[in-house]
Amino acid sequence: MKKYFLTISAIFLCLIGFSTNPEGKIKINIIMKIQSDATELSRMASAFSTKAERRLFVVNTLKRQAEESQADLLDYLNELEINGVVEEIRPLWIVNSVSCYAEESLMDEISRRDDVLAVYQVEEFSLPEDENISIPAERGDGREIAENILKVNADQVWELGYTGEDVLVALIDTGVRLDHADLQGQFWDGGAEYPNHGYDFYQHDDDPSDTHGHGTHVAGTIVGSGASGTQTGVAPGAKIMVLKVFHGDDNLTELTMCVEAMQFAVEHGADVMNMSLGQPLPDASVKLMMRQACDNTLAAGVVASVCAGNSRLIQMLAPVPYNIWSPGDCPPPHLHEDQMVNAGGTSCVICVGAVNFNDVLGDFSSEGPSTWSDVAQYNDYPYSSGSATNIGLIRPDVCAPGVNIKSLDFNTTNGYCLKSGTSMATPCVTGTIALMLSKDHELTPAQIDEILERTAIPLSAHKSNDFGSGRIDALAAVNAIGNVGIEENDDNFTVFPNPTNGIINVNANGLKNIVVFNTLGQKVYETVKNQIDLSQLGAGLFLIRIETAQGVSMQRIIKDVF
């Protein structure tokens, strides 16, 4: 174990480096001062009746904001590009930001602009060495189902008629071996513009072919058909959009490319994202960029399944609360009741840890909590070791099998291999989400997260920083859809009006207690009556905890000023 620890520590030290181009310029990211309020954006989008309409509204609003607020900066950068000072200017709208290659001396000048919030040098990172390890596995006999599928009961969901049909998964990874037999017919139709079913954000072309193997293995766990002998896909009826963000030669990426891929996925109709990747120890500016992207993705109604990371054994280098990789350190769409003592904002991220087939925690699976008290623009989820209230953000949300997972080998067109890591657990959750959406395509990210957590097999007394709420059960999750007590708006009570300018009425059977929390997790109101008076509080998002004879339920409420 000691030798293994030292090896992983050495690898970790080599994970991160700054991004430069051949001319010696550095890659920078410029975050604009004007950013969307994702909570308000979600509230406005809720006026539309379908997820598709809400997504379109959010996308168009973010695009319009970016176009208007970036105009002066882009004029300035374009002039510098003519003079050779700047290259490869890439504006984004999922986060109002612009990345480019520039001479390092330009950073101070840009940071002094009135329209700029932050400028930072982009860091590259690679996949951990342990996820580069593949063990060849034999092809099955045509009836074999991979053990992780059986463990989460996904095969029993297929018997109900749900296989992930009509669900589009964005795979943000190293690419995919497009000619693997088990993936034929499993790809998104990108039309004439994207004939190879996706895009390569590192090379800026339409060929997302895998040259590493990680993405092919992950894809197999989501949609692998079993054509070569072993059924590896949790949701074989779903389709995947292949979004390559890693460089083929040196296996490097950086989070601005990942954000660009998220933007592509949101704009082109993905229902769920799989992000079996993450940056260790990001600084505050990188975290700000990532969380804003995840907030706006949630506003667009898209959920992301994201790995927790593989850093548990190197806490000397990545101590709690910084052991979880980003964006896995971003908050979930739904806040578990165990989080309410220290509640904060929400985002699109369902964070995934790894267990073996005996539900024993993978010794590599990163340990929560995370914290956002180091990012001034959020300043939530404070953490103090041993505190009963400042517990940070509990990470992960759920776990799934991630040790010796059999899936597709990119070295052949019909082979399989075994890999381990939280990257291997994450697509099992993604596939389960696809099964859920094939039953009810209108499920919101918050509903998906809540169902997954409530139906998971508990592996600890409370939601923990090892297992989250437990190991997922795909059959229980699909069966729970539509049942009382699982939907975000519980049938046991109604809350109205919401939004409100002060008074909120609660209609509940067997009401016992009501507690209102602000986004810092502080209790701001408590009553046993069915009317809440928030008139003395400022505008914003609050969380209401309602205890009835049927149990405890949570509801988000918005205090507005009319």
How high is the pLDDT of residue 489? 41
How high is the pLDDT of residue 18? 60
Q: How far apart are CA 444 and CA 437, in angstroms?
A: 9
How high is the pLDDT of residue 536? 85
How high is the pLDDT of residue 419? 97
Entry pTM: 0.86
CATH fold of 493-559 reads Immunoglobulin-like (2.60.40)
Backbone angles phi, psi at 496, to 5 degrees: -155, 150
Q: How far apart are CA 541 and CA 560, in angstroms?
A: 9
Three-state DSSP state, 227: coil
pLDDT in tens, 65-104: 999 999 999 999 999 999 999 999 999 999 999 999 999 9
Q: How far apart are CA 294 and CA 298, in angstroms?
A: 6
Instruction: Please report which residue ranges of 48-138 form alpha helices under DSSP H.
Output: 51-82, 106-111
Sequential pLDDT tens for the chain (562 residues): 333 333 343 334 335 566 556 577 999 999 999 999 998 999 899 889 899 999 999 999 999 999 999 999 999 999 999 999 999 999 999 999 999 999 999 999 999 999 999 999 999 998 876 677 889 999 999 999 999 999 999 999 999 999 999 999 999 999 999 999 999 999 999 999 999 999 999 999 999 999 899 999 999 999 999 999 999 999 999 999 999 999 876 789 999 999 999 999 999 999 999 999 999 999 999 999 999 999 999 999 999 999 999 999 999 999 999 999 999 999 999 999 999 999 999 999 999 999 999 999 999 999 999 999 999 999 999 999 999 999 999 999 999 999 999 999 999 999 999 999 999 999 999 999 999 999 999 999 999 999 999 999 999 999 999 999 999 999 999 999 986 344 344 445 778 787 787 888 888 888 888 888 775 556 788 888 888 888 888 877 777 888 887 777 777 777 775 4
Give start-end residues of each CATH 2.60.40.10 domain in the chain: 493-559
User: Computed from CA positions of residues 206, 210, 211, 214, in that sequence, does the dihedral angle turn out positive or negative?
Assistant: positive
- Structural tokens at position 254: 């950086």
Number of Cβ within a 10 Å radius of residue 238 = 27
How high is the pLDDT of residue 561? 52
Q: Are strands 198-200 and 239-244 parallel, antiparallel or unpaired?
A: parallel
The CA-based angle 97-99-103, given to 5 degrees, is: 135
Give start-end residues of each CATH 3.40.50.200 domain in the chain: 129-480
Angle at which helix 422-439 crosses helix 445-455, to 10 degrees, equals 110
Three-state DSSP state, 257: helix
CATH fold of 129-480 reads Rossmann fold (3.40.50)
Task: List, in order, residues 6 or more apart from 171 with CB less than 8 Å away.
Answer: 198, 215, 218, 219, 222, 240, 241, 242, 243, 274
198 CB-side CA count, 13 A: 34
Q: Are strands 272-275 and 303-307 parallel, antiparallel or unpaired?
A: parallel
Q: Report which of 108, 118, 100, 128 is spatially closest to residue 20, judged by C-alpha positions.
A: 100
Task: Give Cα separations from 93 to 27, 76, 263, 264, 503 (angstroms).
Answer: 18, 18, 8, 10, 36
* Cross-strand bridge partners of residue 351: 306
The CA-based angle 187-189-191, given to 5 degrees, is: 150
Task: List, in order, residues 6 or more apart from 277 with CB less than 8 Å away.
Answer: 127, 172, 173, 245, 253, 258, 307, 325, 423
Q: Name the helix (H) or strand (E) containing 150.
A: helix 147-151
How high is the pLDDT of residue 521? 56
Task: Give Cα separations from 464 to 37, 193, 274, 339 (angstroms).
Answer: 30, 45, 23, 10
Region for residue 107 given its phi and psi (left: phi exceeds 0; alpha: psi -120 to 50; beta: otherwise): alpha
* Cross-strand bridge partners of residue 418: 135, 406
